[in-house]
Amino acid sequence: MDDTVAVALFRHGLTEANKSHAYLGWTDSPLCPEHKNKLAPAPQGYRRIFASDLGRCMKTAAILFPDHSIESYSEWREMHFGEWEGKTYQELKDNPDYLKWLEEPFAQAAPGGESFAAFTARVDKGWKNLTHQLLQGNNSDAAVITHGGVIRYLLGKYAPEQKEFWEWQIPFGRGYELRWTREKFRRGERCTSLQEAGLTGSPNG
């Protein structure tokens, strides 16, 4: 319908670093072959495809939307974990800065990394750009291939039901589709409907 705007938020496929539960922000990691093979072209007819410019998202986007041009933006990147990039809990559990961050993840930042405030300001900039582009002309739907933290933040801000950041479960290769009336989308209100969008053969990736 002309009065409806839809935005689907998909998480990239599982990577080798994700398998080892390492912190993966701006550092990249290849997609796991076994999970990559479960990804298939998406059946949904989204007209605009946006993605984080990191390799794991670009490669996932190319599999899911092989017939589309991918519009990549650094604003859709995951939080930058600075000196903790690529490290696991076991490697960091005795680090005082890390322990402080675990207690206050929305107030502290990794050394050399982003604060939550800087991260959300960047994502908001990406969302503002997406909103502007979808409200131009007859654009009414888009998919964004991005990261777990980005999706959790946006769902916390725009989903009909308000949940805490960590309450949202975002499996790899899957996501959510949000729908608004065009006017509600323009005003930056919460969406009117939310549904899961799955792209892999296994719900757990």
195 exposed, middle or buried (CB, 10 Å; 0-12, 13-18, 19+)?
Answer: exposed
- C-alpha to C-alpha distance for 47 and 154, rounded to whole angstroms: 21
Report the CATH number of the 4-198 domain.
3.40.50.1240
Give pLDDT tens digits for 114-173.
Answer: 999 999 999 999 999 999 999 986 778 999 999 999 999 999 999 999 999 999 999 999
> What residue ranges do the domains of the chain occupy?
4-198
pTM: 0.92
**What pLDDT is stored for residue 204 in this prediction?**
32
The residues, any chain, with a CB within 8 Å of residue 199's CB and separated by 6 or more, are 10, 39, 40, 42, 64, 173, 174, 175
